[in-house]
Amino acid sequence: MANTTRGGTKLGYAEYVCFPNDGRRHEVIDGEHYLNPAPNPYHQTVSKRLQHQLYTTIELAGLGIVFDAPIDLQLSDYDMVQPDLVVIVDKKKSVITPTRIKGSPDLLVEILSPSSADQNRRLKRSLYERRGVREYWIVDPMETRVVQLVRRQRTFLAEPHEDLLHLSFLDQVSVDLRQVW
């Protein structure tokens, strides 16, 4: 993970859209540029399997929309990220604009890679908590586990689960982790 800024100036969306389309993940958190390489094949396999389950239980059921990376998510003037998966329920569709998602979605999923593990566990967790994300999953494909963080008041709390991961905001939706690994 590389971290670069321009002479102490916070970067915003105008600078963010000028980053090259070079196959790497460019993100801005608190005005600082973070750069990660493209994900590995197993990361993408896990992402595809999670997305498939979320898509079939949420989007095909008419409950919301599921996006996969790359998708621009702007959480503030100085926070633009590209989560692996984004879920937005129907009543929050107004955060979807023609160019990006602008506002807090209902679920964000980040799948750990060696280059992004620390960033996802600490920096992004803090960002997503501050910006009002309802639920955040930190997926560790090497350890075959998911930390499910659910917003309770103003903070994330880890929810215990086994092989079935139930969304906190859609009772009828669950993900079978046995089909992910």
What's the CA gap between 164 and 58, in Å, rounded?
A: 16
Give the domains, in start order, of the chain with CATH numbers: 39-179 (3.90.1570.10)
In this prediction, residue 1 carries a pLDDT of 53
Residue 167 has pLDDT above 90, yes or no: yes
What count of other Cβ atoms lies within 10 Å of the Cβ of residue 67? 21
Please report the beta strands in 18-63, taking only residues with DSSP state E, as ranges in sequence order: 25-29, 32-36
pTM for this predicted structure: 0.93
Q: What tokens does 153 get? A: 């008041």
| 164 strand-pairing partners | 176
Reported as a single tens digit per residue, the pLDDT across 58-100 is: 999 999 999 999 999 999 999 999 999 999 999 999 999 999 9
